[in-house]
Chains A and B, each alone.
Chain A
């Protein structure tokens, strides 16, 4: 599982704290997700996609 949260954050000029507040999670969770150390729940993945106004598959990429 990989993601492009960092890229989208940069595009939206958003800090990890901002994204965390918008998704109602802690900054540590955003850091862990960004570094692929924690796979977010479907709900959090959708929240992140909603913040960036992108389809979920553009942000998260699953390789089996």
Chain B
């Protein structure tokens, strides 16, 4: 199996899992969701084992890094600003739930920043910072 076939199979399995999960959610069947995801994972594992040489090259890693950073920035900024808005807006003073939502969102954005900082520190150390 070449890389192209592997990609096609992976996409098909992904679509299959998505279809099962959506259908199961619509008909409110929790067990079908779990079994669909598990079967999908099993198929993915089998496809992966058939295709030994999976190429995750430097360009893909570089693109993933940039995409992750963009996603992190977008989500963190959105959560922080929406959280602040929820707390500071007049509705936040009147509606307790709205203010609580704002506090929770602010904490989530702080958590994201913390996780990012810890990961950055870890990878910075791993890739040779502070070494002479």
Q: Is B123 positioned at the interface, with any CB of A under 8 Å from its CB?
A: no
Q: Is the interface on chain A under 10, 10 to 19, 20 to 34, or 35 or more residues?
A: 10 to 19
B45-70 interface bits toward A, Cβ cutoff 8 Å, 1 = contact, 0 = none: 00000000101011110100000000
Q: Is B3 positioned at the interface, with any CB of A under 8 Å from its CB?
A: yes
The residues of A that contact B53 with a CB separation of less than 8 Å are: 24
Q: Is the interface on chain B under 10, 10 to 19, 20 to 34, or 35 or more residues?
A: under 10
A21-56 interface bits toward B, Cβ cutoff 8 Å, 1 = contact, 0 = none: 000111011001000001011011000000000000
Complex Cα gap A32–B55 (Å): 16
Complex Cα gap A26–B53 (Å): 11
Interface of chain B residues 81 through 117 with chain A (CB within 8 A) = none
Complex Cα gap A40–B58 (Å): 8
Complex Cα gap A28–B55 (Å): 11
Residue among B55, B60, B62 making CB contact with A24, cutoff 8 Å: B55
The residues of B that contact A41 with a CB separation of less than 8 Å are: 58
- Chain A CB within 10 Å, residue with most, of B53, B55, B59, B60: B59
The residues of A that contact B58 with a CB separation of less than 8 Å are: 25, 29, 40-41, 43-44
Sample (13) of A-B pairs whose CB atoms are under 8 Å apart:
A24-B57, A25-B57, A25-B58, A26-B3, A26-B57, A26-B59, A28-B59, A29-B57, A29-B58, A29-B60, A41-B58, A44-B57, A44-B58
Interface residues of A (CB under 8 A from B): 24-26, 28-29, 32, 38, 40-41, 43-44
New A-B pairs, 10, CB < 8 Å, besides A24-B55, A26-B3, A43-B58: A24-B57, A25-B58, A26-B57, A26-B59, A26-B60, A28-B59, A29-B57, A29-B60, A44-B57, A44-B58
